[in-house]
Amino acid sequence: MSARARALALAALVLAAPAGSRALGAPPSPAIGYLANEPTPASVPVLRQALADLGWSEGRTLRVWYRYAQGKPALYPRHAEDLVRLGVAVIVAATPPAVEAARQATARIPIVMVSTDDPVSRGFVASLAAPGGNVTGITTFAAEASARRVALLAQLVPGLRRVAVLWNPANPSAALDLRHTQAAARALGLELAPVEARVDSDLRPALAAIEARRAGALLVLGDALFLAHRRRLTTFAERQRLPAVYPLGEFADVGGLLAWGPSGPETFRRAAVFVDKLLRGARPGDLPVERPRRMELVVNLRAARALRLPIPAALLREADRVLQ
């Protein structure tokens, strides 16, 4: 090959290369890790777009390593350690077990928690205003949400008397959530029948216990275990003809009747803001933890038809999303 041909070939290779790699010796784009149970429509696509809007385009100005537990909590520590070995600049942890695994893996790399109910009780942060340490992000816990969910069940089911409540006593914030739920139920003259599930193997006996309680409705409290098994829970409620209210819209997306809780997309958009600040040099301990900025009501009309349960028109008007 002539010198001219070699020069033309080299020029073609340079022009074909990604923009970020054209400058010889340029530092690589920063990398972040994403640690979750699984990707959902409200998480990864929203986070990716929000980061791009802030100037962090995946594959161009930002590298992202994804790690998923896929319903196997024992994988979280291994995945977190892997992200640390990869040298990521920030870890986005989408569930409480992911946050805990990331904390155990590193005290140096900033961690942005998402969908974490009570980070103070869990020991993730010193306080919401001054987190300290290397963890910050968004808490999804809102005490008033418990009362709202109970009121929704009472509105949905005329003559309701007993409500089964699925909760995880191993969750540090669950006891507080249950107390708020009990107070709201008493105010409405409802009887609660709490049923516990701590780990995957507890779900089968827990669902059998709910069936045995002969409740008129089901309330599922917020927990990573229940989110991971949301399809199983919503299918159970439909088969038992149990009107149910869930803590996040992701439950309604897979067949749940009704959900009231923090907006998943909004939460991940806010997570992108935290990542942006941390990549630009902010210290996680100096960034206050945010509470939910927006709650959303999601109604699944297909589930309502399967239950032969009419949805009040006022509730439909109030809904942020109505799934057909």
Q: Is residue 54 part of a domain?
A: yes
Same domain, 272 and 302: no
Same domain, 172 and 301: yes
| Alpha-helix residue ranges (DSSP H) falling in the chain | 3-16, 44-53, 75-85, 96-105, 143-156, 174-187, 203-213, 224-228, 230-239, 249-253, 264-279, 301-307, 313-318
CATH number at residue 178: 3.40.50.2300
Q: How far is CA 194 from the centre of its chain?
A: 23
Q: Does 140 have pLDDT greater than 90?
A: no
| Residue 136 lies in domain | 18-141+264-286
Same domain, 136 and 150: no
Q: CB of 135 within 8 A of CB of 99?
A: yes
Q: Is residue 11 part of a domain?
A: no
Same domain, 130 and 155: no
Q: In this predicted model, which residue has the larger pLDDT, 161 or 228?
A: 161
User: In the chain, what is the straight-line distance between the N-terminal and C-terminal CA atoms, in Å?
Assistant: 64
Burial class (CB in 10 A: 0-12, 13-18, 19+), 10: exposed
pLDDT at 10: 38
Same domain, 132 and 166: no
Q: How confident is the model at residue 171 (pLDDT cuts 50, 70, 90)?
A: confident
Q: How many domains, in total, are found in the chain? A: 2
Q: Is residue 7 part of a domain?
A: no
Give the pLDDT mean for 182-190: 96
In this structure, what DSSP letter does residue 39 have? -
Q: How confident is the model at residue 248 (pLDDT cuts 50, 70, 90)?
A: very high
Same domain, 178 and 272: no
Q: Mind listing the pLDDT tens digit for each residue in 211-226?
A: 999 999 999 999 889 9
pLDDT at 260: 95
**pLDDT winner (highest mean) among 40-44, 262-266, 282-286:** 282-286
Same domain, 218 and 94: no
HEC profile of 134-186: CEEEEECCCHHHHHHHHHHHHHHCCCCCEEEEEECCCCCCHHHHHHHHHHHHH
Q: Is residue 167 part of a domain?
A: yes
pLDDT at 21: 42
pLDDT at 16: 39
Q: Is residue 67 part of a domain?
A: yes
Same domain, 170 and 118: no
Same domain, 115 and 194: no
Integer-rounded Cα radius of gyration of the chain: 23
Beta pairing partners, 194? 165
Q: Is residue 9 part of a domain?
A: no
Q: Is residue 94 part of a domain?
A: yes
pLDDT at 25: 54
Q: Does 3 have pLDDT greater than 80?
A: no
Q: In this predicted model, which residue has the larger pLDDT, 72 or 61?
A: 61
Give the pLDDT mean for 110-116: 93
CA distance 290 to 85: 29
Same domain, 309 and 173: yes
Sequence-ordered list of residues with C-beta below 8 angstroms from that of 43, at least 6 positions apart, any chain: 36, 94, 114, 264, 268
Mean pLDDT rounded to a whole number for the chain: 90
Q: Which two tokens stand for residue 290?
A: 């945010």
CA distance 17 to 175: 55
Same domain, 192 and 313: yes
Q: CB of 301 within 8 A of CB of 256?
A: no
Q: Does 14 have pLDDT greater than 50?
A: no
Same domain, 24 and 137: yes
Q: Is residue 5 part of a domain?
A: no
